[in-house]
């Protein structure tokens, strides 16, 4: 049944109102033509975001602004907030999140501890802990920019979770590869990934030998992790695989192990890098030289800059900004924090309002954050946590965290997320949140607290007030469409006890979350 939706007719009416509004705007004020009315940014939203640098920054650098966060950034200034976020461990206290993380003690287990405790049992336990904690950090951490960057790198150096290949090590890949280097040097992250059991197993280098080299990791290292297609040849791929032989995994412990007996010996040459590679025991150092060459290559700088601009600025990245960020990356020895600072302080970023749309994952997180959900109490034994349920819910949107099975990662452009099924599931989720029957263990203010006191005089004033509280800027046509959805003209007098502020209030709130305005990143 579709009657439980925020009123699918209401969402459709709102989309139609948006389409009407957007059609009058210049082409530069909307996203690409392939983006549907339910995901394109309306002219009113673009204008509002353009004139509010705080909201624009927080839509991109967090998983969703909240009124409290907006107030904080207005008080400190955008640059000061950004600088603190780029040094989160020293400048952004996060005591509440630190306390919540204590519930997943198994994330501190070493690989052998996971094997010893779970072999023959529920081998997915620690992977589920990882997914729950990943989502919890995105929802509740004050270190929001770090969380978006962690998500970016998780989607760049892909290790699918859950997976039978990484059941004992994926939590350590996240901790020791992604989180440890997310704002540090990419060369360090790349080297750490190349020596982690999760990456070596997922891309088959653990089984690669001098007699039977496996080209999978050597190819993806070039194609996806560094220089990109067009920068190398098939001969380079073969040499890349040979340069990585010996980087393996110990079968008994599950830990990284360099195995000189598997090492190819002889000159290796990839693109502009080469090494005589004469001694098998020195193969790890040769691999480090190769990985550092790739991390510092101008093509890698351009590729990473392009991906970061797509993530934080526009589906069609400005060439001027990509070039500028690539230079910053190389000038800072592959350090990421300076690149991000230059990105967020650039004129191209300031001019990019309305050019990004939230993915389903981001939309769900932003919905929870704007409605004020707080961490649930530790569930009783045998009770499925709301966070576990949330991870499952995200899979119905087509974007479970760490759930992309291929090494190229989830797409980050609006056109990839226009599917009707995903949109419908998101609309239902919005209504469940607003109505209080989704993620019930996560406490949140009652939806009636969104209604101002004293009561707004008309339906138009009510809708405008709710939109302002949810940080959604509506056009007049959109506001009026919502009024009509609750069977009233915008100017009709609003009375205490009216359906719009009682049983139909969750539907109005859900409609605002359904709107393309809220979907704008």
pLDDT in tens, the chain (521 residues): 233 344 455 665 565 455 444 333 333 332 332 333 333 444 444 444 446 999 999 999 999 999 999 999 999 999 999 999 999 999 999 999 999 999 999 999 999 999 999 876 788 999 999 999 999 999 999 999 999 999 999 999 999 999 999 999 999 999 999 999 999 999 999 999 999 999 999 999 999 999 999 999 999 999 999 999 999 999 999 999 999 999 999 999 999 999 999 999 999 999 999 999 999 999 999 999 999 999 999 999 999 999 999 999 999 999 999 999 999 999 999 999 999 999 999 999 999 999 999 999 999 999 999 999 999 999 888 788 999 999 999 999 999 999 999 999 999 999 999 888 888 999 999 999 999 999 999 999 999 999 999 999 999 999 999 999 999 999 999 999 999 999 999 999 999 999 999 999 999 999 999 999 999 99
The predicted structure's pLDDT at residue 9: 54
Give the structural domain span for 14. 8-41+356-519
Long-range contacts of 202-209 (CB under 8 A, 24+ apart): 202/158, 202/159, 202/160, 202/163, 202/165, 202/166, 202/407, 203/407, 205/244, 205/247, 205/248, 206/248, 206/249, 207/248, 208/241, 208/244, 208/245, 208/248, 208/262, 209/245, 209/262
The predicted structure's pLDDT at residue 382: 77
The predicted structure's pLDDT at residue 54: 97
Please name the helix (run of DSSP H) or strand (run of DSSP E) that holds residue 257, with its range, or none.
Answer: strand 256-258
For residue 493, tell me if it sits in a domain. yes
Q: Please name the residues in contact with 285: beta carbons below 8 A apart, sequence gap of 6 or more.
A: none
- Classify residue 261 by its DSSP letter: G
For residue 27, tell me if it sits in a domain. yes
Q: Please name the residues in contact with 43: beta carbons below 8 A apart, sequence gap of 6 or more.
A: 21, 22, 24, 25, 29, 30, 475
> Contact 21/46 with Cβ under 8 angstroms?
no
Closest to 202 in 3D by CA, of 404, 396, 395, 401? 404
Q: How many domains does the chain have?
A: 1
Residues 343, 311: Cα–Cα separation, whole Å: 11
Residues 226, 275: Cα–Cα separation, whole Å: 19
**Geometric angle at alpha carbon 177, from 379 and 190, rounded to 5°:** 155
CA–CA distances in Å: residue 144 to residues 71, 147, 205, 259: 15, 5, 34, 40
> Contact 494/456 with Cβ under 8 angstroms?
yes
For residue 318, tell me if it sits in a domain. no
Residues 109, 95: Cα–Cα separation, whole Å: 22
For residue 131, tell me if it sits in a domain. no
Q: How long, in residues, is the chain?
A: 521
Closest to 327 in 3D by CA, of 352, 282, 296? 296
CA–CA distances in Å: residue 10 to residues 56, 65, 174, 349, 498: 27, 25, 41, 33, 18
CA–CA distances in Å: residue 64 to residues 144, 312, 449: 9, 13, 20
For residue 214, tell me if it sits in a domain. no
Residues 391, 221: Cα–Cα separation, whole Å: 29
Q: Please name the residues in contact with 475: beta carbons below 8 A apart, sequence gap of 6 or more.
A: 17, 18, 21, 42, 43, 44
């Amino acid at each position: 049944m579709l009657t439980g939706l925020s009123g699918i007719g209401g969402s459709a009416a709102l989309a139609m109102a948006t389409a009407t509004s957007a059609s009058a705007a210049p082409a530069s004020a909307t996203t690409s033509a392939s983006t549907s009315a339910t995901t394109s940014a309306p002219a009113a939203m673009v204008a509002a975001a353009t004139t509010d640098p705080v909201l624009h920054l927080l839509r991109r650098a967090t998983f969703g602004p909240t009124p409290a966060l907006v107030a904080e950034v207005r008080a400190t200034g955008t640059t000061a907030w950004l600088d603190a976020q780029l040094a989160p461990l020293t400048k952004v206290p996060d005591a509440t999140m630190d306390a919540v993380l204590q519930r997943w003690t198994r994330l501190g287990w070493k690989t052998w501890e996971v094997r010893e405790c779970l072999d023959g049992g529920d081998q997915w336990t620690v992977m589920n802990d990882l997914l729950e904690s990943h989502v919890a950090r995105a929802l509740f951490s004050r270190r929001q920019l770090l969380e978006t960057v962690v998500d970016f790198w998780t989607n760049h150096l892909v290790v699918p979770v859950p997976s039978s290949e990484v059941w004992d090590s994926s939590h350590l890949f996240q901790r020791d590869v992604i989180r440890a280097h997310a704002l540090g040097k990419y060369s360090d992250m790349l080297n750490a990934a190349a020596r982690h059991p999760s990456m070596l197993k997922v891309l088959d280098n653990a089984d690669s030998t001098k007699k039977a080299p496996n080209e999978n990791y050597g190819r993806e290292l070039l194609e996806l992790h560094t220089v990109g297609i067009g920068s190398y040849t098939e001969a380079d791929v073969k040499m890349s695989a040979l340069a990585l032989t010996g980087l393996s995994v110990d079968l008994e412990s599950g830990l990284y192990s360099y195995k000189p007996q598997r090492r190819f010996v002889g000159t290796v040459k990839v693109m502009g890098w080469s090494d005589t590679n004469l001694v098998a025991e020195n193969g790890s150092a040769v691999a480090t030289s190769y990985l550092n060459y790739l991390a510092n290559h101008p093509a890698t700088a351009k590729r990473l800059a392009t991906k970061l601009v797509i993530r934080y600025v526009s589906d069609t990245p400005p060439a001027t900004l990509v070039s500028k960020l690539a230079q910053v990356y190389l000038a800072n020895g592959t350090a990421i924090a300076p690149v991000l600072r230059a990105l967020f302080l650039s004129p191209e970023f300031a001019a990019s309002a309305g050019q990004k749309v939230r993915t389903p994952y981001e939309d769900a997180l932003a919905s929870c954050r704007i409605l004020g959900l707080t961490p649930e109490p530790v569930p009783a034994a045998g009770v499925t946590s709301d966070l576990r349920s949330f991870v499952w819910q995200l899979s119905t949107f087509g974007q479970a965290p760490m759930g992309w099975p291929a090494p190229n990662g989830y797409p980050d452009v609006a056109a990839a997320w226009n599917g009707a099924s995903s949109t419908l599931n998101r609309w239902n989720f919005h209504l469940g949140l607003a109505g209080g029957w989704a993620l019930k263990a996560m406490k949140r203010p009652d939806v009636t607290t969104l209604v101002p006191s004293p009561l707004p005089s008309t339906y138009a004033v009510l809708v405008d007030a709710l939109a302002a509280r949810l940080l959604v800027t509506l056009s007049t046509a959109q506001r009026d469409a919502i009024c009509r959805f609750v069977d009233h003209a915008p100017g009709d007098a609003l009375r205490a006890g009216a359906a719009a502020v009682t049983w139909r209030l969750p539907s109005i709130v859900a409609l605002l979350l359904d709107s393309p305005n809220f979907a704008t990143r």
